[in-house]
Structures are given as structure tokens and as C-alpha cells.
Chains A and B, each alone.
Chain A
Amino acid sequence: MRHLIALLASVIAIVVGLITLLGLLVGDDLGFLSALVDAFRVRSLADVLLQLVMITVGVTILIGILNLLAVHLGRVVGRRRGWVYSLILVLSTLGVFGLTIAERARLVQTSPDSPAPSMVLFETVQVAVESSLAALVLFALVYGGYRLMRRGVTWKGMLFTAVLLVVLLGALPLQGEGLSLIGQVSRWLMAVPVSAGARGILLGIALATVITGVRVLTGQDRSYRE
């Protein structure tokens, strides 16, 4: 039974993967391959498979959130360490649910010109907290930059700090001969070495993705069987 399930898993991964690949990649100008894809309605099949994956991901998100609520409710009921935070978390989630259900059931009256209360809550509270967390990253980044060479001075650390300072100074909206030169160096850095390094990294990631994809589709990578 164990081997049968493992074999079935490999067959499913390879078949659905190849159908999706053909459906997405093969255009109308590839002769026999295009005719084959059209004859077996591979594009429609690929669309259905993609939809199934999207809905399954939606279902798993829902399961994950239900699990999150169950774990935190367990902490509240058991009065375990940090139960106050769990209580606030559960109440916040239930508050959003309650507000949205009340809106949909038209229990909350709003004028046609004003936005729905759930959207007000999202824009004023959720976005505010997200922005504050993003702003907090600034302190971590500056502190990380400051501590970079505390453990030892290396050529990589020096180059990193030099580029960091040039790009930061180049972004300053100040006038002056020295600053104008730094601005030019910064623009050149962004246009040539930074662009080259970023392209190399992105190409490397893309190549690795292609190789991993091919390994999965040819059945060489079978991590889903573990």
C-alpha cells in the first residue's frame, strides 16, 4: 500500500505538471505540438488544474487560520503563559468577522458616501500598524550596518559599507560639487555594477528554478513522497 501511494504520488505530480507545462508554454505556432495540445484540450485542462490549485490553497489558508484560532483559544482556556495576547488576538479576529457579517446583513448603517466600517478599520488600524512595523525595520537596518565590521574588517565589509554610504549620500537632495560627484558615482553604481550583480543573482535563481522544475517533472525530485 505504501509503495502504491508513493508511485501514485509520482504519477500525479508528473502528469499534472506536464499538462500544466504544455498548456502554459505551447503557443499556436509550434506545428504538430500545437495541434496535439489543441486536440487534447490541454490548455483548458491546465486552466482547470490551476483553478484547483488556487482553491486548494484558499482551503489550506482557511484551515491554517482555524488552527491559529484553535491554538490561541487553547492557550486562553488553559491560562497558559501569554494568554492575554492570545485573547486579544482571538477577539481581534472575531471582531473583524462580526463587523463584516453585520455589514453584509445590513445591521450596520452607513451613509452611501462614507466607506464601510470594516474598510475604515482596515485602512486606519491595519495599515497604520503595518507602516509602523515597516518603519521599525529602519532601526534594525541602521544598527545592523553599524555593527557590520565590529567582528573584523574585511574587504567585503569595507566594499559593502562604501557602496552603502555612496548610495545613501547620493540620495540626498543637496547641492555642491562633492555631493554632485557622489550623486554621479551613485547613479553609475546603480546602472552598472549593481545592475550586473542583481541580474546575475536573478538569473541564478531563475536557472535554479528551471532545474528544480525539470527535476520534479521528470520524477527525479520526489520530496512529496517523504
Chain B
Amino acid sequence: MSSRDLQEETDKLETNSSNKPLKSGNNNDTLGPSSSSQRITESEIDVNDVINSMVDIEGHSGATVIFVGSVRNFGINGKVQRMYYESYAKMAENKIKHIEKMAMEKYGIKKIRIVHRIGELALGNNSVIIALSTPHSDDAFRACKYILAKIKQEVPIWKKEILSKGNEKWVDGKSIKTN
């Protein structure tokens, strides 16, 4: 059986791949998740924009919970200087949409936004945000923890710790859940 590289086509794909996230984010003020809202982005996460998207003037929700994950200065491989995130963008978008749908059904979520940033991030930069609103606060807190756990189990995103003296190490992660 033979196989060979087609380097020219590969180069073309490198610049026009389904694996490449869109550059800019957008807002979404409708109830529930939006199919057009971007979940994976190379851009800085606009926390205020996400919080504002939870505003519900019709009052369906009495509780909004926001989780913001950011780059910490220490990791499993020692002192961290920066963090690099990579994703299989299209699959990651699909997985996050699925998690949103599952969580909405399970916890009665009225509004939800999840955004994960990729690329090279500095210490303190926000890497992920989960925002959701529900009628009652217990459901909102439990839903947020559920979603974060699902992201860690199911969404194809990898991070590499950039350490001192130019050392870099991928973080040993969890085997991706496939069902």
C-alpha cells in the first residue's frame, strides 16, 4: 500500500483549514445557545460582552453564574511564563454546542455562552469563560461545574506550558471521552 505527501496541497490547506478558528467574536442576545456564536477564538475574551449577553429583560432567570479560567503562573511542570492552547476547532465548536444543549436540558438553563481562547496567552489572560442563567441559583452553580468538567473531558483542546529558559511541555491530559 502506498501513500505520499502532496506538499503543495498541504500548504494550501494550512492557510484555509476547517481547523482554523474565526478571528472575531460576536454577541448574542437571544435565549439559549446560538449556532452562530463563536466558541473557539484566537481573540481576547470580552468578559463584559459575555456578561451583558446574560441580561434577560423578560426575567426568565433569577441567577447568573460566570466562571472565568485564566493562565496561572505555576503548573504541573513548574513555573509557567506563558501558556499555548491548540484546538481541533471545528470539532471543539461542535462538542461545546453539544455540551450547551445537554446542560440546558439537564439544568433548565435559559441563556448560555461558552468561549475558549486558543493561541499563546500571557499570565492572567482569560482562557475560558462559561456564563449561564437559570431560574434558581442552585441549578446555575451545578450547571457551571458540570459544563467545566465536560469541557475537560470532551472538547479537543490542548495546552502547552511555556516555562523558563525556553522549555516547553504539553500538559498531560485526560483521554478524550468518545461517547
Q: Are A and B co-members of a single complex?
A: no
B interface residues, Cβ below 8 angstroms from A: none
A interface residues, Cβ below 8 angstroms from B: none
